[in-house]
Structure 1
Amino acid sequence: MSRWQRLFDSNERLFWTLHSAGWAGFAIIYYIGSFLHDVRSIWVFIILLNAYSGWLLTIPLRYVFRWARRQHPLKMVITVILACYAVALLWAVVKNINYWEIYKHGYRPEAWYMYFTNTINSLIMVGCWSGVYFGIKNFQMLQKEKQNALKASTMAHQAHIKMLRYQLNPHFLFNTLNAISTLILLKENNSAEKMVSRLSDFLRYSLDNDPIKRVPLGQEIKALRLYLEIEKVRFDDRLEVLWDIDETCESALVPSMILQPIIENSIKHAISKMEQGGRIAITARTFGNDLLMDVADNGPGADIKNGQLSREHGVGLVNIKERLQSLYNRNFAFSIEHNQPSGVRVRIRIPYEVKDA
């Protein structure tokens, strides 16, 4: 934390710094303004004495104003005006004494109004001090409200991302448990046991990763291999997976479980529909400052309108787009298109970022 940050984080330190700096500035400006009046050391002493008395007398205003800010507006205004006038009048008396007794050696003005000539100037100065005080307090209050609003927005944003992320777990879990149930009914207990074991490992990875944080793609690939091993228990030789992952992409940060619903979608709508099975190709590479990821299948294809699948009740791909929108705002691309010669291809482009060392 920098020195300036520490200064503004402490109200006590900020008050005493600005309070002292303000009165020091008053003394400097007053001396410069009256430089032609007198350059003797006695005059400099009077200026310093007046600045010090002003510094001392305005300190109680801080505590009066702190109390006044908690009162009804009309009561606050009356309190501030009376307090400013009382301090200004007292400071004017002190300045007169300093000027008459020390600088003029016991001088007394003959005209009665001369006793009040310093009051207006003093009132203006105290008024400026009060204005700066309330200005800083109101600024701090607005900043605090902005921080609270930003914090609330951030918490809501994070909750939205977590909701989107965890929405996938029941979706995937339902499909897998249904498959395990089928294996048990078919008396394929060994296959069911393997599937349960891999499901346990996969869900442990899924639940252990914070949905807000991103993970290295290499770590995500390991989880996808677990998932595909689960699916291979169901499809055996009917499921072929081709991996083409550039080594430079292994450390790239990606949202956890971002590719799994795409692969699940391919298995559900492509591989399971083909009697001879099919193939899923998973690709990742870099292009400039971006990370490009593709998931393509060679299934029967699907109706695609305006870059979206025309299927109803699907949550996986819609979920992915919402997560990318929440995490990257507009700095991403998500497209669904026809694969050649058949099937569906899903492309994702996100910024290429790696974890700090």
Structure 2
Amino acid sequence: MARGIGLDRPFFDDKNRAFWILQSVGWSGYFVLRTVSGFANDKVWMFAVHVILMTATGYSLTLLMGTLFRRVISMRPLLTTVLSLLAVVCAASAFSIIETWSVATFVNQDWRPRTVEYLGGFILNFTLLAAWSALYYGINYYLLLEEQIDQRERLESQASTAQLAMLRYQLNPHFLFNTLNSISTLVLLKQTERANAMLARLSSFLRYTLANEPTAKVTLAQEVETLKLYLEIEKMRFEDRLRPHFRIEAETIGARLPSLLLQPLIENAIKYAVTPSENGADIWITAEHVGDKVVIEVADNGSGEGTAFAATPSTGVGLANIRDRLAQAYGPDHGFATRKNERGGFSVIVDIPYESGDKDS
């Protein structure tokens, strides 16, 4: 039933429909109030004819005013005010002339209006039509403001989404070039099985990065599987020099986070801990559920020079990129810290709100 009469959607969703409803209800109320007031003061039945004529006059005049107001509302404020005031004065003058004539014709045929009666009628009708105009402009300016707020929110949301996508696509692809160079070397050495295995893993990793929306959130379990795939590619380059360790609490595997958030941190550890060392390095990825937060740490036992990972014009990506993605995804409700750890290496600690769900957001 509500759907049939249009009550299942916001009242001002259809401004034209809302105008006609308010116009009809308002002037119906005017008719009822004036009729009841007249009969309460012992007016004759012809007074009802007079009120019907006044209601029809007011209804018609305000329709004309509304047509004018729709045209002038977008003009400069001063021009809108002047034209609207002139329209109210003209309408009130016409209203008072018709009203005094109607009273003399239907209510009291012996009454002859004088200037003061016209003036009194003008003042009352001017007040009535000015109130109608104020309500008209008040509603329309409110709707314009609401529309501008909605538009601003949409633009802010689009800008936020675009920035998230940009940050995701900024991820440093130099590992891709390194991997392709390694594959090329393996082909030249005729180690086709290793080259094919590396190509398959690279293909799976790239398929994942392309299949997921840049602004999507994935479960920590999915993120860990992607990290393992990435580490398998790198391990074929570094072999035993790269020693990853995962310590993921069972309670955290369903937690959601921006996709590929941790990959640059692993890449950082490989670049500054594994690559410079002849013996390589260990990398630990840990996740804990602490209260309503998920605390994730990526640590290594290298030289502790991972702070060089901060964004620079040459790389275009780094710790600043991670901070920006976290800020876009969680606002102030997250934590991000770096430190030199007890193993002599570098640690990055991220804490984010615990979110869970079955679908990517």
Q: TM-score, normalised by structure 2?
A: 0.84
Which runs of no fewer than 5 residues in structure 2 stay unpaired? none
Distance, in Å, in 2 between the alignment partners of 1:180 and 1:114 is 100
Q: How does 1:1-357 map to 2 (within 5 A)?
A: 3=7, 5-26=9-30, 34=37, 38=41, 42=45, 45=48, 47=51, 50-69=54-73, 76-77=80-81, 79-104=83-108, 106-109=109-112, 111-168=114-171, 170-302=173-305, 315-355=317-357
Stretch deviating more after TM superposition (65-74 or 324-333): 65-74
Which runs of no fewer than 5 residues in structure 1 stay unpaired? none
Deviation at 1:29, TM superposition (A): 6.3
Secondary structure in 1 matching 2:305:
coil
Distance, in Å, in 2 between the alignment partners of 1:72 and 1:335 is 53
Secondary structure in 1 matching 2:254:
coil
Distance, in Å, in 1 between the alignment partners of 2:195 and 2:65 is 78
Q: What amino acid is aligned across from residue 122 of structure 2 in structure 1? A: T
Distance, in Å, in 2 between the alignment partners of 1:207 and 1:355 is 22
Secondary structure in 1 matching 2:298:
strand
In angstroms, what is the RMSD of aligned CA positions? 3.2
Residues 179-232 of structure 1: per-residue CA shift (max 9 Å, x gap) = 334444554433222212111111111111111221122222221121111112
8 A Cα contact 2:254 2:356, kept in partner: yes
Secondary structure in 1 matching 2:275:
helix
8 A Cα contact 2:272 2:306, kept in partner: no
Secondary structure in 2 matching 1:210:
coil
Distance, in Å, in 2 between the alignment partners of 1:158 and 1:346 is 25
Deviation at 1:85, TM superposition (A): 2.7
Secondary structure in 2 matching 1:13:
helix
Secondary structure in 1 matching 2:342:
coil
Figure out how many residues of one structure are paired with residues of the other and give that number. Answer: 352
Q: TM-score, normalised by structure 1?
A: 0.85
Residues 276-324 of structure 1: per-residue CA shift (max 9 Å, x gap) = 33322211221111111111222232376xxx86896662322111111
Deviation at 1:78, TM superposition (A): 5.3
Deviation at 1:348, TM superposition (A): 0.6
Sequence identity (%): 36
8 A Cα contact 1:309 1:336, kept in partner: no
Q: 1:169 to 1:25 in 2, by over 3 A?
A: farther
Distance, in Å, in 2 between the alignment partners of 1:135 and 1:87 is 20
Q: What amino acid is aligned across from residue 6 of structure 1 in structure 2? A: P
8 A Cα contact 1:109 1:115, kept in partner: no
Q: What amino acid is aligned across from residue 175 of structure 1 in structure 2? A: N
Stretch deviating more after TM superposition (255-264 or 183-192): 183-192
Q: What amino acid is aligned across from residue 16 of structure 2 in structure 1? A: E
